[in-house]
Structure 1
Amino acid sequence: MEGINTVELAVFIAFFVVVTALGFGAARWRRAENLMHLDEWGLGGRSFGTWITWFLIGGDIYTAYTFVAVPALVFGAGAAGFFAVPYTVVVYPLIFLVVIRLWSVSHVRGFVTPADFVRSRFDSPTMALLVAITGIVATMPYIALQLVGIEAVLKTMGVTGELPIIVAFVILAVYTYSSGLRAPALIAFVKDILIYLTIIVAVIVIPTKLGGWDVVFGAAEEKFSLSGTGGLLLPGTGQVQYATLALGSALALFLYPHSITGVLAAKSRGTLQKNMSLLPIYSLALGFIALLGFMAIAAGTEPIGADNNTIVPALFQQMFPSWFAGVAFAAVGIGALVPAAIMSIAAANLFTRNIYKEYLKKDATPTQEAKVAKLASLVVKLGAVAAIIFIDPQFSIDLQLIGGVIILQTLPSVGIGLYTRWFHRGALVAGWVVGMVAGFLMLYSVQRVGPDGTVVKEHFAGSAFSLSKLGFDTTTTVYAGFLAVAANLLVVVLVTFVLRAMKVDDGVDGTADTDYTAEREDPSVRDLPDPLGETPTTAGEGSGRG
């Protein structure tokens, strides 16, 4: 195995074998009488407590791509790469009251997806379909990017070719098919322990070897001053972009289907309240992860094959003994498997409940729903593998930026809809269309310019939209998703006024005010539909069993 670090690879494989065993064993962990029900396969029985939910949501949000891409951005651009830290600080209080309302109404009404909620709340199959399609499309590149993390680690160890990635995802697909959400929930424990261990060792050992933090920041400042790009501080023209990107990313984070899946798997509102208080611990870890980019500059680390995504694995290989580098690589690799599994389950739930059941087989039984969801999760993973094999990874990264802009367009119906039904269902559809068109037009116009002033990439080269393109005399840029959702909301409000003035029918709200504050002990909150029964449960169809 010429060129391959056998020690690192052996440690990596050993941990992969362990999590594979956990994945298959998860089917018997907290086992239900019957896994052939979306509540069981896709939501883990809606019974996860504080610790499991904390690891599950944390493992879902802080992915392998986060571990390699955030420090890679800091390595290349400096302060701009730290946008992920404030947005994960802002997001938890921002969505604190949103997720507990979503949990309550979903447990009372039996909702499995955000589109289920929209279907019932606004009596709009069309808007529910748009939410489902939006969620699936936005999730696909996110799954593909987990493969970018695994690919960066394998490349650093000297392993080339697509076969190892394909094998890893085939194994992931099989145990997810068997165990459902229980598999990533159990594996998340191992993933987070390894990541925290790696971060703690890295922030102590690496700066010490380099001569201290003053050396680390000094080297970064020198690099950026010589290159003329990036810096330890944001330039004035980039501050609005930074703020809107952080806020827009925070608003988008819990609109993603995989984030909502983790929320609905919690056993109570209290569980979520505790988690929103505890999850900022991950934000502290993320700050240290970002600093790895500066450490790589001070260490003189070079990315492998000009791929900046390899900068952190290359730094670990340079600074750690081979056995511990293998542990760190395992943390990144397993950090890819957990969110990829949850994302594929979330996408499968959307397809099953809001496309298959709504339009293809309205009388589908719970068992049939579970079978379709399992198959859909396999198709989603195959699509992600195909994307990473046949599409340039850099294009996949750009797709993820587009994904954030896309998922933000569900904010009026999903996020705001949890607090008010004032928006007309027709206006929500119109706003979604305008937001999508505006977002894509802005992203299409974004160019990437090289140091010499030449255009390196003509279109879809990022999410920083220049306000000068709207006729303003300024060099300020703004996050495209922020402007797109603002246009969406403006249209929703204006069209709602028009449609209500025209007295256009607005359907019937399938939820009740008391649904949004129901606790687990509330008699209207269902534990689970009868796992042995075959009576299909339709979103918004009664209150469920007491």
Structure 2
Amino acid sequence: MNATVATSVFGVFMVATVALGLLATRGRRKGNGEGGGLAEWSVGGRSLGTVFIWVLMAGEGYTSFSYLGAAGWGYNYGAPVLYVVAYMSCGYAIGYVVGPMLWAYARRHGLVGITDMVAHRFGRPWLGALVAVLATVFLLPYIQLQITGMGVVVSTISYGAISLNQAYFIAFAVTTGFVVVSGLRGSAWVSVLKDVLVIATLGFLAFYVPMHYFDGYGPFLDRLVTEKSQWLTFPGHGDSGLGQAWFITTSFLNSLTVVIFPTTVAGYLGAKNADVLRRNAMLLPAYNVLLFVPMLLGMAALFVVPGLVGAESNLALFQLVVDSLPAWAVGVIGVAAALSSIVPMAVFMLVIGTMWGRSVLSLVPRWERRQKGAAQVVVVVAGSLALLLTYTAPNTLVRLSLISYEGMAQLLPMVLLGLMWRRLTLLGATSGLVVGVGVVCGFVFTENDPVWGVNAGIVALAANLAVALAVTYAGPRERDDRPDDEVLARDETGAPKAPEAPEQEAESGRAPAGTGY
């Protein structure tokens, strides 16, 4: 009976989710090609306002990790999990400057993704394709992890009636169908529903769990300080190696990386103007308050469901929910957690499809004028690959998941330094990228992360930057006939200057290569 009630609630909300995505595309099916073209599908026609950008970017950052992983890390380690709050808040501050810059650059030249920007900046279409392949490698683990997270949620709220394998397929089918049809605009609309449910359910749990199990926050915190004090200091519980140096370097590296993460850039490029992004950067940190709830409840689970080991710790929060709440409430909380998988997974798949459709498959003449169709095919292929790996090799990408942010960080010199400093050469940027990726993979795959007590990614980024600068200064200077204001156009306030000409949205055309900001 409990399983029927909870899964029925879940099913109704999933149907509503797909319907909301379809509703979001009404009236937008115009322009180049069916469905309004690649720009409408991938960046919402660059027309999203402050509210939609806020919920979209909050939704992309608040994943199933926030329900499962944050609680699991709180359960296993304690204090080190606070790095999530630290890097996201700092990243929003950096995004206040970087977001408008990337938005203006992309709009000025009719670009729809990070791979477009790299190819355009260095005048090499193949470089965009290379970055697309590399970024896909670092994004696929996120898709697999979201499929796994949503599968665990679905199986748990069904009280075991739905097997994990069935739940994984449900996660894949719902998300793939949703993103192919609705694109970025649909994800933004569904993010509104997700945010309402997330705020409501976490607000309820933050009050309910301490009162139900401990008679209030006072007794709960007293027990935590008295019995589990190790969880409240660095490096947390156990021999994790996640000390203060790791916390600082990880927060710093991730706060830089998040602003050029392909999914974040997709959110930037969906804005209708740069002021939307500035307001958004000021509002987004408020959403981070919600992250404290699963972290705290994960530590509360130490007293209620002790003895969870390994991956079982990720179920710490849902064990509290299933054990103490009626089935309909379990279903609603399960929907909030599932949408926290669907929205970011949709954005990840959307970005992969856009990168390949725009930068890789468009190099083939027969696909050049069918970029949106090619991107949608890639979405299905990427989701299918992640689902296949979830079934056949669930642990294969565990190490790759560790280097997702650390690996993506190696694009920082090529993207940010390349846009800000016209002297950086193609040889210097690619040499640094190769060295950075090689170093971070070497550390992680030999299980030396953290290394010397710090995040391995920041060591790799230092090597990356050093090589990029050395090769740039030692090698021949590339000829650049662009005027200064074309490289870095700014208005009277010093902010990136928006273009005066209408944006270029040609479905088939890549922007002219070799021109700068």
Match of 1:480 among 433, 438, 456: 456
Counterpart-to-counterpart distance in 2, 1:241 and 1:305: 22
Unaligned runs of 5+ in 2: none
Moved segments of 4+, more than 6 Å:
none
In the superposition, the TM-score normalised over structure 1's length comes to: 0.85
After superposition, residues 340-379 of structure 1 pair within 5 angstroms as: 340-357=345-362, 359-361=363-365, 364-365=368-369, 368-379=370-381
Range moving further from structure 2, 480-489 or 162-171:
162-171
Q: Cα deviations across residues 182-203 of structure 1 (Å, max 9, x unaligned)? A: 2211111111111000111011
Mapped contact 2:113–2:262 kept (Cα < 8 A): yes
In the other structure, the counterpart of 2:511 is: 538
Letter in 1 for 2:190: I
1:304 is displaced (CA, Å) by 9.3
Does structure 1 residue 211 correspond to structure 2 residue 218?
Answer: no
1:375 is displaced (CA, Å) by 0.7
Counterpart-to-counterpart distance in 2, 1:392 and 1:535: 38
What is the percentage of aligned positions where both structures have the same residue?
27
Counterpart-to-counterpart distance in 2, 1:343 and 1:378: 12
1:316 is displaced (CA, Å) by 1.5
Q: Cα deviations across residues 462-490 of structure 1 (Å, max 9, x unaligned)? A: x422x2xxxxxxxxx11111111111011
1:204 is displaced (CA, Å) by 1.1
Distance change (3 Å), C-alpha of 1:291 and 1:29: farther
Counterpart-to-counterpart distance in 2, 1:83 and 1:122: 34
In the other structure, the counterpart of 2:392 is: 390
In the other structure, the counterpart of 1:11 is: 9
Counterpart-to-counterpart distance in 1, 2:201 and 2:421: 44
In the other structure, the counterpart of 2:247 is: 242
Counterpart-to-counterpart distance in 2, 1:25 and 1:65: 28
1:306 is displaced (CA, Å) by 5.8
Letter in 2 for 1:67: Y
Count of residue pairs the alignment pairs up: 501
Counterpart-to-counterpart distance in 2, 1:116 and 1:312: 41
In the other structure, the counterpart of 1:180 is: 183
Does structure 1 residue 270 correspond to structure 2 residue 275?
Answer: yes
The alignment partner of 1:170 has SS state of helix
Counterpart-to-counterpart distance in 1, 2:60 and 2:98: 18
Mapped contact 1:216–1:297 kept (Cα < 8 A): no
Counterpart-to-counterpart distance in 1, 2:123 and 2:112: 16
Distance change (3 Å), C-alpha of 1:305 and 1:155: farther
Mapped contact 1:104–1:515 kept (Cα < 8 A): no
In the other structure, the counterpart of 2:501 is: 524
Counterpart-to-counterpart distance in 2, 1:332 and 1:302: 23
Counterpart-to-counterpart distance in 2, 1:322 and 1:243: 42
1:422 is displaced (CA, Å) by 2.4
In the superposition, the TM-score normalised over structure 2's length comes to: 0.90
In the other structure, the counterpart of 1:153 is: 153
1:305 is displaced (CA, Å) by 9.2
Match of 2:20 among 11, 15, 22: 22
1:536 is displaced (CA, Å) by 2.5
Distance change (3 Å), C-alpha of 1:514 and 1:525: farther
Letter in 1 for 2:163: T
Counterpart-to-counterpart distance in 2, 1:8 and 1:508: 64
Q: Cα deviations across residues 254-311 of structure 1 (Å, max 9, x unaligned)? A: 2221111111011100110110010001111112232121121233366599622211
- RMSD value over aligned CA atoms? 2.6
Counterpart-to-counterpart distance in 2, 1:126 and 1:431: 17
Counterpart-to-counterpart distance in 1, 2:156 and 2:512: 48
Does structure 1 residue 513 correspond to structure 2 residue 488?
Answer: yes
In the other structure, the counterpart of 1:452 is: none
The alignment partner of 1:494 has SS state of helix
Match of 1:464 among 422, 435, 450: 450
After superposition, residues 19-418 of structure 1 pair within 5 angstroms as: 19-28=17-26, 30-33=28-31, 34-157=34-157, 158=160, 159-209=162-212, 210-221=214-225, 224=228, 231-235=231-235, 238-300=243-305, 303=308, 307-357=312-362, 359-361=363-365, 364-365=368-369, 368-393=370-395, 395-418=396-419
Distance change (3 Å), C-alpha of 1:303 and 1:152: farther
Letter in 2 for 1:216: F
1:77 is displaced (CA, Å) by 0.7
Distance change (3 Å), C-alpha of 1:248 and 1:273: same
Q: Cα deviations across residues 156-192 of structure 1 (Å, max 9, x unaligned)? A: 2312131232133223222322222222111111111
The alignment partner of 1:180 has SS state of helix
The alignment partner of 1:143 has SS state of helix
Range moving further from structure 2, 275-284 or 250-259:
250-259
In the other structure, the counterpart of 2:465 is: 489
Counterpart-to-counterpart distance in 2, 1:399 and 1:537: 31
Letter in 2 for 1:364: E
Mapped contact 1:301–1:314 kept (Cα < 8 A): no
The alignment partner of 2:232 has SS state of coil
Q: Cα deviations across residues 510-543 of structure 1 (Å, max 9, x unaligned)? A: 95322795555x42351x536xxx6624354889
1:382 is displaced (CA, Å) by 0.8
Mapped contact 1:268–1:519 kept (Cα < 8 A): no
Unaligned runs of 5+ in 1: 448-462, 468-476
Counterpart-to-counterpart distance in 1, 2:174 and 2:206: 33
1:211 is displaced (CA, Å) by 2.3
Distance change (3 Å), C-alpha of 1:185 and 1:539: farther
Counterpart-to-counterpart distance in 2, 1:374 and 1:147: 19
Counterpart-to-counterpart distance in 2, 1:445 and 1:506: 41
Counterpart-to-counterpart distance in 2, 1:260 and 1:68: 25
The alignment partner of 1:81 has SS state of helix
Counterpart-to-counterpart distance in 2, 1:269 and 1:82: 30
Counterpart-to-counterpart distance in 2, 1:535 and 1:55: 30
